[in-house]
Amino acid sequence: MAWLYRIALALVIIGAINWLLVGLFQWDLVQALSGVSPVREATLFSRIIYSLVGIGGLYLIPFLFKEKLNV
């Protein structure tokens, strides 16, 4: 079951990094990979929220590589 948590954590981290890119640069990685224009319009408030979510995702990266997961 630990593999499922690792996959879920990896997806959360990838999503958070995408939001960090939106928050800091107004550039959406998912849209870029799908062939849509990667530039995303956002208000200052939403960019701050996106950036905070992205920083939270960066904080979680070490947990992905922990030997023992407490699940």
> What pLDDT shows up at residue 49?
93
> What pLDDT shows up at residue 15?
94
> What pLDDT shows up at residue 67?
77
> What pLDDT shows up at residue 71?
61
Question: Considering only CA atoms, which of 28, 31, 32 is closest in space to residue 54?
Answer: 28
d(CA 21, CA 2): 29
Output helix, strand, coil percentages for the chain, rounded to the nearest 5: 70, 5, 25
User: What is the domain partition of the chain in residue ranges?
Assistant: 2-64
Question: Considering only CA atoms, which of 42, 44, 46, 53 is closest in space to residue 19?
Answer: 53
What pLDDT digit, counting tens, does each position of 7-45 carry?
A: 999 999 999 999 999 999 999 998 898 888 889 888 899
d(CA 22, CA 29): 8
